[in-house]
Amino acid sequence: MMSWNYRIVEHKSKTIHKIEKINRNNDDEAELLEEDFYYYQIHEVYYNNENEIEKITLDAMYPYGETVEELKKDIEMMMEAFNKPSLNMEEINKHFEKLKLRKEKG
């Protein structure tokens, strides 16, 4: 039986900065500096019977409820994610690649 919960997931992205330089000849030069930056989001994570990650939502989740009580319960479930270690999306993607290879081998 598959189970799920909300988890905090670390994402890595890149940003590019343009750095203007003026050299001795007063010629403008530009250098592009690429940097990694990290951000965090809450995702639904689904587990198989061995408690391995089986699925994860592509997009971050937002609190939802059809009533105020349902919305409150959803927020409470999201808050529980702060009591668990955060996950890393790059590592999750590596895990999925291993699962894919395992299934292909039979």
Q: Is the pTM of this model over 0.85?
A: no
Whether the predicted pLDDT of 1 surpasses 90: no
**pLDDT tens per residue, range 33-67:** 888 999 999 999 999 999 999 999 999 999 999 99
- What does the pLDDT read at residue 27? 64
Contacts of 44 (CB under 8 A, 6+ apart): 4, 5, 6, 7, 56, 57, 61
DSSP string, 8-75: EEEEEEEEEEEEEEE-TT--EEEEEEEEEEEEEEEEEEEE-TTS-EEEE-SSPP----SSHHHHHHHH
- What does the pLDDT read at residue 53? 95
- What does the pLDDT read at residue 103? 81
- What does the pLDDT read at residue 62? 97
The average pLDDT across 3-29 equals: 83
